[in-house]
Amino acid sequence: MKSIVIYTKSWCSYCHAAKELLRRKGWTFTEIDVTTDPAGQQEMSKKAGGRTSVPQIFIGDTHVGGCDDLYALEDAGRLDALMAA
Q: What is the pLDDT of residues 19-53, one digit of tens each?
A: 999 999 999 999 999 999 999 999 999 999 999 99
| Distance separating alpha carbons of residues 16 and 66, to the nearest angstrom | 12
Q: What is the pTM of this model?
A: 0.96
pLDDT tens sequence across 50-85: 999 999 999 999 999 999 999 999 999 999 999 998
Could you tell me if 15 and 9 are in contact, meaning their C-beta atoms sit under 8 angstroms apart? Answer: yes
Read off φ and ψ for residue 41, nearest 5 degrees. Answer: -65, -40
- Predicted pLDDT at 1: 75
Report the mean per-residue pLDDT for the chain.
97
Which residues have C-beta within 8 Å of that of residue 34, sequence separation ≥ 6? Answer: 7, 8, 9, 40, 41, 44, 54
4-84 under CATH 3.40.30.10, yes or no? yes
